[in-house]
Amino acid sequence: MAIITIVGSGMMGSALAFPARANGHEVRLVGTHLDRDIIDNCRKCGRHPKFERDFPSGVSYYRIEEFETALEGADAVIGGVSSFGVDWFGDYVLPKIADGTPVLTVTKGLYDTADGYLYTYPELWAEKLRALGKSLPLCAVGGPCTSYELVAEDHSSVSFCGYDIEAVEKFKSLMACDYYHVSTTTDVRGIESAVALKNAYALGVALTVGLNQKKFGIDSPLHFNSQAAIFTEAVREMDMLLRMQDAHSVNNLAVGVGDLYVTVYGGRTRLVGILLGRGLTVDEALNELKGVTLESLVVAERVARAVKVKAARGEVDVKELPLLMHMDAILTEKKPADIPWDSFTYAE
């Protein structure tokens, strides 16, 4: 039996307690400074407030002030923060973890630089660790898996990636179970880029749901032709962007597309996309969804910003990424959702 400490009691980080306990490991769930209510609820009821199932026995709960106690003797650490906690995790959490302890992050996103480079979060953390002179095998998880279905023990297939394949395989041995199926790879940039891009493009697919509700009524039947058309364009553009990242492979694209599929059918990104499609501005949509973290908006803006920098140097043609550019206009210029359908057509 291993000791697994999960830092960040958001839905996905918390959901990983279930396969970990299925394998008999001790799990210590640590809330960040933003998670006090979650941890208090877990201590009182034994259940995450967003889940419909109690945590299994063998999970203990810690406030952030008790973080160092939760780390004592830990064989592995899982980072369960959102993309808004990336800097905090790198600056506060990683330095306190004992050298050699493998770390697995569920955080999905990309960070852009002024020269148009898109960093994955493990790359950012690796730089911080080098500056500190610390050695922590960094791993990450990507793929089509929603937290609430993982809690329900629905079959889920994901990819664990990391620079050290031994650490990746260790995490697989800790976490894989009869309903949580794990592939492994050392292609960190590929997997992490693919699953970050899907957040942006799921927003685009969801726009069509809102547009059809605006046209036919909120309770009207779903229209799948328009969703499928945007899904097709999203896959084409994700393929291009993975090539731009020097991260293209069939496996990476497949993981991203699978994650896109599951995100389109549920979650926060779908909600905000529908509201934007109905005609709300991004500010109005965010006001409707107060308290909801929307990483899709962040990654869409960052990727579009990087693309425009590269386009100014002649490295990319923005006309080949019309859906990304349209989403960026909605988010940064407050333009209405008016999907440029004809820009998705082509002739070969």
Residue 96's CB is within 10 A of a number of other CB atoms, namely 12
- Written as six digits, the tokens of 298 are 């962040």
Q: What is the pLDDT of residues 296-314, one digit of tens each?
A: 899 999 999 999 999 999 9
Separation of CA 61 from chain center = 24
Mean pLDDT for the stretch of residues 78-84: 93
For the ranges 55-64, 237-246, 258-267, the lowest mean pLDDT is seen at: 258-267
Give which of 202, 215, 199 is closest to 338, Cα–Cα: 215
Indicate the helix (H) or strand (E) that contains 162. Answer: strand 156-162
d(CA 247, CA 129): 23
Maximum Cα interatomic distance, the chain, rounded to a whole number of Å? 62
CB distance 227 to 171 below 8 Å: no
Q: Going from the N-terminus, what domains does the chain have, and what CATH number goes with each?
A: 3-186 (3.40.50.720), 189-344 (1.10.1040.10)
Q: What is the pLDDT of residues 215-237, one digit of tens each?
A: 999 999 989 999 999 999 999 99
Beta partners for residue 62, in sequence order: 30
DSSP string covering 242-299: HHHTT---HHHHHHHHHHHHHHHTSSHHHHHHHHHHHT--HHHHHHHTTT---HHHHH
pLDDT of residue 291: 60
Q: What is the pLDDT of residues 263-293, one digit of tens each?
A: 998 778 899 999 999 999 999 998 888 766 6
